[in-house]
Amino acid sequence: MASIKHIFNELHYEMIRTIAEGGMGVVYQAVQKGAGNFRKVVAVKLIREEYSTIPEFQSNFIGEARLVADLIHTNIVQTYHLGQIGGQYFMVMEFVNGVNLEQFLERHRAMNRPLPVDLAAFIVSRIARGLTYAHQKRDSEGRPLGIVHRDIGPKNIMLAYEGDVKLTDFGIAKALDLMYNEEGKVIAGKDEYLSPEQANYAVTDARADIFPLGIVLAELLLGHNIFRSTDRLESRQNILSLPIPQFGTLRSDINPKLEVILQRALQRDREDRYQTAYDVLNALEVYLYSDGYGPTNEKLGVYLKEVMGYREPGSAPSPAPA
């Protein structure tokens, strides 16, 4: 960290702390400094030093940055800049003051507390909203980019304390002319959050992001991923063949309308699944708001602060969620 701080000081970035670490990359919280005492909190993502000289990792990292550069949407973490220093590529990204969905779930498990059904549906509806934008994105010539995220899961969903829900990490996404892809030879994604076509080494389209949306929704409602096993191969096999339960029998406040959404999102044949992320978004919003009032960013923010024990510096305790 000391050497990283020194290197980035030259670029007017003050590295504050490590936010997340993966197999090939690290994300830091940093302060970008400018003229007139300008300061902006950002996230800086860079390839681990041991991978930074490998052309394949460099091209994937650059490809991710190029892909997300023009993805400007409230439900997607924005990327501001791609740079290189000391032989290492780095991305400067929007800093989300909050937690990822995995941390949120772990907190609920530790408290033995179920997440309210409406907030679970709301969180997934916001990710569906971000995916709708990404899936429909076109290049400057009007060609559909054909973006498929391929890595939808709790670690890649951020919850801001203000209540915003944001999708991040397009590191293994595929898109027209932008990302190298070996579908048919390798499996891209985490075993317990794959679509059946990913688990079967098939070529994917945007519908491959719908099945993991269903997995995440079920996990938020039940507190665990029904497909997860300690064995990676077994997790993939579960994706392909584990009987899909009637979720209302596992949690009594999952009503028939939400049951229909879960069952359709988790159809293994993609022809029977929701065909677009917009279809998922529409179904969830009809479910949430057809009776009038439903959850909002503000309600989620209040709940998130209360569950995570977050307090703004100098603020009074947050009220308990209604």
More confident residue, 66 or 308: 308
pLDDT band at 92 (very low <50, low <70, confident <90, very high): very high
pLDDT band at 180 (very low <50, low <70, confident <90, very high): low
Q: Do domains 2-94 and 98-304 have the same CATH topology?
A: no
pLDDT score at 240: 97
Residue 3 above 70 pLDDT? Answer: no
For the chain, the maximum distance between any two Cα atoms, rounded to a whole number of angstroms, is 61
Q: How far is CA 150 from the centre of its chain?
A: 10
What's the CATH number for 2-94? 3.30.200.20
Domain ranges of the chain: 2-94, 98-304
C-alpha 192/C-alpha 1 separation (Å) is 32
89 φ, ψ to 5°? -85, 145
Query: Could you identify the residue written with the tokens 């938020």?
Result: 220
Euclidean distance between the first and final Cα of the chain, in Å? 42
C-alpha 215/C-alpha 209 separation (Å) is 10
211 φ, ψ to 5°? -60, -50
pLDDT band at 178 (very low <50, low <70, confident <90, very high): low
Give which of 99, 115, 96, 23 is closest to 299, Cα–Cα: 115
Mean pLDDT of the region 169-185 = 75
Could you report the per-residue pLDDT of 211-225, keeping only the tens digit for each?
999 999 999 999 999
Residue 288 above 60 pLDDT? Answer: yes
Structure-derived torsion over alpha carbons of residues 91, 94, 99, 103, reported in degrees to the nearest 10: -30
Give 146's DSSP letter. Answer: -
Cβ-proximal residues to 196 (8 Å cutoff; 6+ apart), any chain: 211, 239, 240, 268, 270
C-alpha 243/C-alpha 245 separation (Å) is 6
Q: How many CB atoms lie within 10 A of CB 93?
A: 21
pLDDT band at 322 (very low <50, low <70, confident <90, very high): very low
Amino acid sitting at position 4: I
190 φ, ψ to 5°? -90, 135
Residue 72 above 60 pLDDT? Answer: yes
Residue 196 above 50 pLDDT? Answer: yes
Q: Does domain 98-304 have CATH number 1.10.510.10?
A: yes
- Residue among 70, 151, 191, 272 flagged as catalytic: 151
C-alpha 195/C-alpha 207 separation (Å) is 9
pLDDT score at 181: 59
pLDDT score at 11: 72
The pTM assigned to this predicted structure is 0.92
Q: Is-contact 157 127, C-beta < 8 A? A: yes
Least confident span in 48-52, 97-101, 233-237, 287-291: 48-52
Return mean pLDDT, the chain: 91
Q: Is 153 exposed, middle or buried (0-12, 13-18, 19+ CB in 10 A)?
A: buried
Could you report the per-residue pLDDT of 136-168, keeping only the tens digit for each?
999 889 999 999 999 999 999 999 999 999 999
Say whether 151 is catalytic. Answer: yes
C-alpha 43/C-alpha 317 separation (Å) is 27
